[in-house]
């Protein structure tokens, strides 16, 4: 049995090509395009994942957004704004996930 590196998802063993597409196309090409800053891409991605209620992916992208210069306060404003466009439950979920990420980073 092989051990996965900490940053490699377990599903890559089942679908290595999907992992290649994720690394090479999504993060290697799309996220590197010059048309939007990584900060802007993070805000867009967090907003999309929030309204789609994609909690697992949201957690990782909140961390990426923080790494890309988005502040906790800005994420809070984003979640509050989305409550009116995407629904109260998705915003509450995003606040909950965001707090978990913020607290984990403080630890």
Per the listing, tokens 């994609």 go with: 54
Given a contact cutoff of 8 angstroms between Cβ atoms, the answer to whether 18 and 27 are in contact is: no
The mean pLDDT of the chain is: 91
- Which tens digit of pLDDT belongs to each residue from 56-83? 999 999 999 999 999 999 999 999 999 9
Domains within the chain, CATH numbers bracketed: 37-106 (1.20.1290.10)
Query: What local confidence, expressed as pLDDT, does residue 2 receive?
Result: 40
56 three-state secondary structure: helix
- Which tens digit of pLDDT belongs to each residue from 24-33? 999 999 999 9
Q: What is the pTM of this model?
A: 0.87
Per the model's pLDDT, the better-predicted residue between 80 and 10 turns out to be 80
């Amino acid at each position: 049995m092989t051990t996965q590196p900490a940053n490699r998802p377990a599903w890559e063993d089942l679908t290595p090509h999907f992992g290649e597409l994720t690394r090479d196309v999504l993060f290697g090409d799309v996220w590197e395009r010059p048309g939007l800053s990584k900060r802007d891409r993070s805000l867009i991605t967090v907003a999309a994942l929030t309204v789609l209620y994609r909690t697992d992916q949201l957690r990782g992208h909140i961390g990426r957004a923080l790494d890309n210069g988005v502040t906790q306060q800005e994420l809070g404003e984003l979640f509050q704004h989305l409550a009116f466009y995407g629904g109260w439950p998705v915003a509450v979920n995003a606040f909950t996930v965001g707090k978990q990420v913020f607290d984990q980073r403080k630890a």
